[in-house]
Structure 1
Amino acid sequence: MRTPLRPLARVLPARSRGENPDLIERENLEKRHEAIRDKNQPRASARLGLLALAFGCAYLTIGVRMGHLAASEPVEPVASAPGAEIVAQRADITDRNGRILATNMTTSALYAHPRDMVDPKGSAKRLAEIFPDLDAAALEKRFTDGRRFMWVRKVLSPEQMQAVHEIGDPGLLFGPREMRLYPNGTLAAHVLGGYSFGAEGVHSAEVIGTAGIEKALDARLRDPARAGEPLELSIDLTVQATVEEVLGAGITMLNARGGAAIVMDVRTGEIIALASAPTFDPNDRPVPLVGKNDEPSDSPLFNRAVQGVYELGSAFKIFAAAQGMELGLVGPETMVDANAPMVWGKHKIKEFQGKNYGPLLSVREVIEKSSNVGTAHIALMIGPLRQQAFLKSLGFFDPTPVELVEAPGAKPLIPKRWPEIVTITTSYGHGLSASPMHLAAAYASIANGGIYVKPTLIKQHGPATGVRVMSERVAKESVAMLRGVVTKGTASLAEVPGYEVAGKTGTADKPKKSGGYYKDKVINTFASVFPASNPRYVVLVTLDEPVDTSGSEPRRTAGWTSVPVAAEMIRRIAPLMGIRPAVEPITGTALTAAAN
């Protein structure tokens, strides 16, 4: 029951005593409020406790987050949006001995939020000072044209990053990047190719190959499952460096426009070294030539060893001799017509400088003296159809299968028709154009006993298997003929004591765009194998427009140009590849007496 605030039992006596009855009401009201407070106090205390706990948790969370942010590296916020993840990790590339040819390096990219910039004009000026290739006026215009975002530089050095930091503009921001690094500079540049960025974001960028093996095996190098497994190439870094050094020196001394060199293991098809000159640095890959009058070979990006498709001249003659022996038409000592000039229809086949080696030469002498007429007669015995089939088995009708993105586009130039005159000219290396890589693979087939092995830039683990293109006997006799070219014939400057070099020279006039051939411009090739008694390697050197000016008259043949360059390569790389020189017996006249 409710207690009245003005009970009559107390009010009436109070009035009779002259007291104020309102005091009774006030007293009762205070007692009622006190009772209510006592009743509600536990509930209020509980609510205050819960509120205090909530505020405490909130402040604790904020404090922990602030501490975490203060201790971490500053990064830009990431927009939450659906999309494929950018995979930047890329596998390393090593040579056959595990030495790094290509690896990854962490760096930064520079981008801008122009609307957040405090001083666009001043920042543009200072950025142009840091990066001389940037134009301050153009940069300022882009900063002030209303855009929200723009890239400034895709890759920064640590020094450049620090310099941009010192500008202090909040609109200039950095994003992490993983870039490709080629620590050996220009070494093996045409093998590696280069890289660029694909899909890009402010926090990462996709690293993709643009040329060479980087592009040819791009999927393998970008496979996340194999990111920690380096790609092992067949290249030997030490041999590669030596080959490039000798090739460069030879081009300079012989005033050549360029050149190429290949060292190939005849048993496995492994490319131990592949060089093309002029070269470039894949860390700073130049821009391709796009002018109307520019020749592809004028660019240092052009891989002459693979992309260069040339008439390779007399280096082809050994194929005619080998096929003739394989078919049983001739033997090494079989005499053939070599009387020059040879008239075939309206065509006249001549020897170099109008010589005449006839009337007869043995097949061995045809190769040693490099007789066009003798080779032509052997080719006519073989016939067009059989000649085509043999050259096709040696890989001359298809692009080389080597793991370079440029290789599929370097298809040999095959005559559309193949009459007997084409059979003749093809036998001595005119009319059919192929790359030095084609020729190296074909010579490896002769050197390894008659089995065609595919050239490869990937390290192999054992001998390769291939199709037999000639008998072991014919292959051995062919190598013996090639050895005679060095000891008795046109490649005498290729003799390297202790290494039994065998090979064949090839001097081909350069064709004109308008038709016909230049009189004073040649492509020279020397294709060699060593050691002849047990062939292990092919060494091939091709030079574009070389000329030897050391004599009284300019000399442009391969015997004076490509041959000495190849000989110097063999002299220097043979010990690097573990090949011991054969010890020649000492004659009695060579003995000298010495006294203590």
Structure 2
Amino acid sequence: MTRIPLRPLARILSAREKGENPDAIERENIRLRHEAMRDRARLRAEGRLLILGAAFVAAFVTVGAQMGLLAATEPVEPQATGMGAAIVAQRADITDRQGRILATNLVTHSLYAQPPLMVDPIRAAEELALIFPDLDAARLKKDFTSKRKFLWVKKKISPEQMQLVHEIGDPGLLFGPREMRLYPNGAIAAHILGGASFGREGVRSAEVVGTAGVEKTFDGWLRDPANGGAPLQLSLDLTIQSTVEDVLYGGMKLMNAKGATAILMDVKTGEIVAMASLPDFDPNTRPAPLTKGDPSDSPLFNRAVQGVYELGSTFKIFAVAQALDLGLVRPETMVETKGPMFWGKFKIRDFHNYGPQLSVTDVIVKSSNIGTAHIAQLIGGVRQQEFLQKLGMFDPTTVELVEAPGAKPLRPAKWPEITTLTVSYGHGVAASPLHLAAAYASLANGGTRITPTLLRRDKAETGPRLISEATSTQIRDMLRQVVVRGTASFGEVPGYAVAGKTGTADKPKRTGGGYYKDKVIATFASVFPAHDPKYVLVVSLDEPVETSGTEPRRTAGWTAVPVAAEIIRRAAPLLGLRPEVEPLADAAVTLVRN
């Protein structure tokens, strides 16, 4: 730094010449130097104060921003670092064939307590018991005042309940975020979806695992992050499913039935468009399974898949289809129906006396046990078993439900001729309504076997051929006649050419053997439209009784058939089927003038 002399020589000499005091020059220079030093010191001080002020402002801004962030985020407990595997809570959605949500996830909270942190455990227990009526206040008081360090209070709570717990204000009541499985449509398709529950649980998350239905079958797929969150798309149509359940519920109540089931299936692809079982349940609050009594009394019991029943006269079409395909009979072949028919000590009767003979077509139309038994004799037991095996009537269905493998049809250990006769009209072999629906679809679609599925398929998968196309056409014509002039006359739906077969089977007793005299399983297996089959519908009622007349009526023609007709009447337009005039059997151009 350059220093200016306090007594510059030039100025001293000049001052002496003028008679001025040289000391005044030194005092002036000292004053100026001190003023410059003061100004520099003030500038340094002001700079330091500015920097210090900026630092204080930055610190306060940082602290304020952090406090705002903490106030806006969820309060959490500090988590200890461990080597355990992380809980994967995310689970893919389940949708219907149109992409509508059937099952999804909902962010909710759990409520837990840390008694050592609680200020007033007695009051907290009493307040919690008011918010959650299912909690026992006495038990909570005991737990809160014990030496326990941690306990769950509620695994799932609503936002409203969370706010009420907040208002208690006890620091020992804490919340943990988690996802729960939500079924927005309630009980619709409950038996298909099944339900989900929590597996491994932590304070901050819980593992959602399937417990039944497709949730259990596809549990690994739904939890696999490799799928990128893609939904599981089912073959169900939510609108059709809701319609089927509404009509089936009304029909079950109208017919005083204990239970009911309905299956609507595409005859070409095997896609199940709707499948209902009543009584049902809400998968959001899945009930506990029964521990005693009849399993079918539980709302968890899926009658369409798990219900294995003797399905009565709906089996008759199998015997006739096989005999036609083997060339043993033709539709117009006359068959003996004079009754009763004796086989050893056994006696086979018809519901009505149909005279000495009926054509094969009328055996189906009138539903003659005796006529069907005579046709079965022509086929023989070995060939009968082979055909039923090909139809899938001896094995569990492969539908994508965890309950399906356990629903194996019941068949006799031995197969004498009397079994051949009784099985031909549906007694002696027990199968599920889903087995029946798949078999009818296989016979009506041109004769190729289909496999029922709950997954959407873009194209049909052609299975092995069971009967010829000509036989399939003859079968459809016979089933159509059952509705036009036979036991299923209440099944007619104008414009949709319904074809089908009724079946009324006595219900076996659970203990002691034998059958009930006044309890039946009434079933109607239908196909529509008959001339160009698109869908098969099976409706089955457990212990129905139609009481509009002077005497109670239990046969399928009076109970299951009207319910199926109403389902078709409502569902067919929703399926995109336009009502049309049924083509004449012998439509042709006739020359009337030359």
TM-score by length of 2: 0.86
Name whichever of 393-402 and 65-74 sits farther off. Answer: 65-74
1:556: which partner in 2?
Answer: 554
> Residues 99-178 of structure 1 correspond to what in structure 2 (within 5 A)?
99-178=100-179
2:397: which partner in 1?
Answer: 400
User: Structure 1, residues 366-401: CA drift from partner, whole Å, max 9, x if none?
Assistant: 000000001011111111111111101111111111
Q: Does 1:379 align with 2:380?
A: no
Could you tell me whether the CA contact under 8 Å between 1:528 and 1:540 is conserved in 2? yes
User: Structure 1, residues 189-232: CA drift from partner, whole Å, max 9, x if none?
Assistant: 11111110001100000011111111111111111122421111
Please tell me the residue identity of whatever aligns with 1:518: Y
Secondary structure of the residue that 2:303 maps to in structure 1?
A: coil
Q: Any gaps of 5 or more consecutive residues in structure 1? A: 1-51, 587-596
Please tell me the residue identity of whatever aligns with 2:537: V
Could you tell me whether the CA contact under 8 Å between 1:525 and 1:562 is conserved in 2? yes
Secondary structure of the residue that 1:416 maps to in structure 2?
A: coil
1:439: which partner in 2?
Answer: 436
Please tell me the residue identity of whatever aligns with 1:96: R
- Say which of 481, 486, 489 aligns to 1:484: 481
User: Structure 1, residues 320-363: CA drift from partner, whole Å, max 9, x if none?
Assistant: 000011111111111111111000011000111xx322311111
Secondary structure of the residue that 2:314 maps to in structure 1?
A: helix
Secondary structure of the residue that 1:380 maps to in structure 2?
A: helix
1:523: which partner in 2?
Answer: 521
Could you tell me whether the CA contact under 8 Å between 2:497 and 2:582 is conserved in 1? no
Please tell me the residue identity of whatever aligns with 2:549: G
- Say which of 578, 581, 584 aligns to 2:579: 581
Q: 1:77 to 1:503 in 2, by over 3 A?
A: same
In structure 1, what is the Cα distance between the partners aligned to 2:235 and 2:72? Answer: 47
In structure 2, what is the Cα distance between the partners aligned to 1:388 and 1:585? Answer: 36
Please tell me the residue identity of whatever aligns with 2:341: M
Secondary structure of the residue that 1:444 maps to in structure 2?
A: helix
Q: Does 1:350 align with 2:352?
A: no
2:503: which partner in 1?
Answer: 506
RMSD over aligned Cα atoms: 1.9
Q: Any gaps of 5 or more consecutive residues in structure 2? A: 1-51, 585-594
Please tell me the residue identity of whatever aligns with 1:546: P
Q: Does 1:218 align with 2:216?
A: no
- Say which of 404, 407, 411 aligns to 1:410: 407
User: Structure 1, residues 439-477: CA drift from partner, whole Å, max 9, x if none?
Assistant: 000000011101111100101001122111111111111
1:258: which partner in 2?
Answer: 259
2:306: which partner in 1?
Answer: 307
Please tell me the residue identity of whatever aligns with 1:417: K
Please tell me the residue identity of whatever aligns with 1:540: V
Could you tell me whether the CA contact under 8 Å between 1:450 and 1:469 is conserved in 2? yes
Could you tell me whether the CA contact under 8 Å between 1:436 and 1:542 is conserved in 2? yes
1:326: which partner in 2?
Answer: 325
1:423: which partner in 2?
Answer: 420
In structure 1, what is the Cα distance between the partners aligned to 2:274 and 2:313? Answer: 24
In structure 2, what is the Cα distance between the partners aligned to 1:584 and 1:505? Answer: 22
In structure 1, what is the Cα distance between the partners aligned to 2:462 and 2:83? Answer: 49
User: Structure 1, residues 251-307: CA drift from partner, whole Å, max 9, x if none?
Assistant: 11110001000000000000000001111111111111113xx21111111111111
Q: Does 1:360 align with 2:360?
A: no
Could you tell me whether the CA contact under 8 Å between 1:334 and 1:363 is conserved in 2? yes
In structure 2, what is the Cα distance between the partners aligned to 1:66 and 1:507? Answer: 74
Please tell me the residue identity of whatever aligns with 2:398: P
Could you tell me whether the CA contact under 8 Å between 1:341 and 1:356 is conserved in 2? no
CA drift of 1:71 comes to 5.2
User: Structure 1, residues 559-589: CA drift from partner, whole Å, max 9, x if none?
Assistant: 0000000000101111001111113699xxx
Could you tell me whether the CA contact under 8 Å between 2:373 and 2:425 is conserved in 1? yes
CA drift of 1:61 comes to 13
In structure 2, what is the Cα distance between the partners aligned to 1:168 and 1:313? Answer: 66
Secondary structure of the residue that 2:176 maps to in structure 1?
A: strand
Secondary structure of the residue that 1:179 maps to in structure 2?
A: strand
Secondary structure of the residue that 1:399 maps to in structure 2?
A: coil
1:229: which partner in 2?
Answer: 230
Secondary structure of the residue that 2:526 maps to in structure 1?
A: strand
Secondary structure of the residue that 1:385 maps to in structure 2?
A: helix
Please tell me the residue identity of whatever aligns with 1:536: K
Q: 1:70 to 1:566 in 2, by over 3 A?
A: closer
2:43: which partner in 1?
Answer: none
1:455: which partner in 2?
Answer: 452
Name whichever of 136-145 and 544-553 sits farther off. Answer: 136-145
In structure 2, what is the Cα distance between the partners aligned to 1:511 and 1:391? Answer: 22
Could you tell me whether the CA contact under 8 Å between 2:263 and 2:272 is conserved in 1? yes
User: Structure 1, residues 116-141: CA drift from partner, whole Å, max 9, x if none?
Assistant: 11111111111111111111001111
Please tell me the residue identity of whatever aligns with 1:521: K
Q: 1:106 to 1:401 in 2, by over 3 A?
A: same
2:366: which partner in 1?
Answer: 369
1:31: which partner in 2?
Answer: none
Could you tell me whether the CA contact under 8 Å between 1:447 and 1:536 is conserved in 2? no
User: Structure 1, residues 162-189: CA drift from partner, whole Å, max 9, x if none?
Assistant: 1111111111110001011111111111
Name whichever of 282-291 and 363-372 sits farther off. Answer: 282-291
Name whichever of 227-236 and 388-397 sits farther off. Answer: 227-236
Secondary structure of the residue that 1:361 maps to in structure 2?
A: strand
2:296: which partner in 1?
Answer: 297
In structure 2, what is the Cα distance between the partners aligned to 1:195 and 1:472? Answer: 44
In structure 2, what is the Cα distance between the partners aligned to 1:448 and 1:234? Answer: 19
1:207: which partner in 2?
Answer: 208
In structure 1, what is the Cα distance between the partners aligned to 2:583 and 2:453? Answer: 38
1:276: which partner in 2?
Answer: 277
Could you tell me whether the CA contact under 8 Å between 1:89 and 1:227 is conserved in 2? no
Could you tell me whether the CA contact under 8 Å between 1:221 and 1:227 is conserved in 2? no
Q: 1:394 to 1:585 in 2, by over 3 A?
A: closer
